[in-house]
Amino acid sequence: MELSSNFQSVLMRKVLLVLSFFISTAYAVAQQPPAAYLKAKSDLDAKAYGMAKDGFVPFLDVAKYGLLSNYAAFHSAEAALQLAQAPQAIELLSALKGKVWSQSEETTYLLALAYFQNNQLVEGLQAIKGLTREPFLSKGDRATFSYLQNT
3-state secondary structure of 97: coil
| Digit-coded pLDDT (tens) for 1-20 | 555 666 676 666 776 666 66
Q: What is the pLDDT of residue 25?
A: 45
For residue range 128-151, list pLDDT tens digits in order: 998 988 988 888 889 888 888 877
Give the predicted TM-score (pTM) of the model.
0.77
Separation CA 67–CA 69 (nearest Å)? 5
The chain-wide mean pLDDT, for the chain, equals 86
Question: What is the Cα 8 distance to its own chain's centre?
Answer: 48
Q: How many CB atoms lie within 10 A of CB 105?
A: 17
pLDDT in tens, 78-101: 999 999 999 999 999 999 988 888
